Amino acid sequence: MRDKAKYTHLIKQKATELGFMYCGVSKADFLQDEAQRLDAWLKNDFHGKMNYMENHFDKRLDPRLLVDDAKSVVSLLLNYYPEVQQKDPEAPKLSKYAYGTDYHFIIKDKLKELFAFIQEEIGEVGGRVFVDSAPVMDKAWAVKSGLGWMGKNTNIIHPKHGSFFFIAELILDLELTPDGPMKDYCGTCTKCLDACPTDALVSPYVIDGSKCISYLTIELKDEIIPSEFKGKMENWMFGCDICQDVCPWNRFSKPHNESAFNPQENLLQMSKADWEDLTEEIFRELFKKSAVKRTKYAGLKRNISLLSE
User: CA-based Rg of the chain, rounded to a whole angstrom?
Assistant: 20
pTM for the model: 0.95
What are the boundaries of each domain within the chain? 2-86+95-172, 191-253+264-308
Q: Mean pLDDT of successive 10-residue segments in the chain (309 residues)?
A: 89 98 98 95 96 93 96 98 95 97 96 98 96 91 98 98 98 97 97 98 98 98 94 97 98 97 91 96 94 95 90
* Predicted pLDDT at 179: 97
Predicted pLDDT at 19: 97
Longest Cα–Cα distance of the chain, Å, equals 64
Terminal alpha carbon distance of the chain: 63
Cα angle value 281/285/288 (rounded, 5°) = 120
Q: How far apart are CA 14 and CA 113, in angstroms?
A: 9
Number of other residues whose CB lies within 10 A of the CB of residue 13: 12
User: What is the model's pLDDT at position 2?
Assistant: 66
Q: Could you tell me whether strands 236-238 and 93-94 are parallel, antiparallel, or unpaired per DSSP bridges?
A: parallel
Instruction: Collect contacts of 278-285 with beta carbons under 8 A, ≥24 apart.
Output: 278/304
- Residue 133 has what pLDDT? 77
Residues paired with residue 26 on neighbouring β-strands, in sequence order: 73
pLDDT of res. 308: 77
**Annotated active-site positions, please?**
132
Q: What sign does the dihedral 28-32-167-57 (CA atoms) show?
A: positive
Burial grade of 52 (CB within 10 A; 0-12, 13-18, 19 or more): exposed
3-state secondary structure 212-257: CHHHHHHHCCCCCCCHHHCCCCCCEEECCCHHHHCCHHHHHCCCCC
Give residue 204's identity as a one-letter amino acid code.
P
What is the reported pLDDT for 265? 79
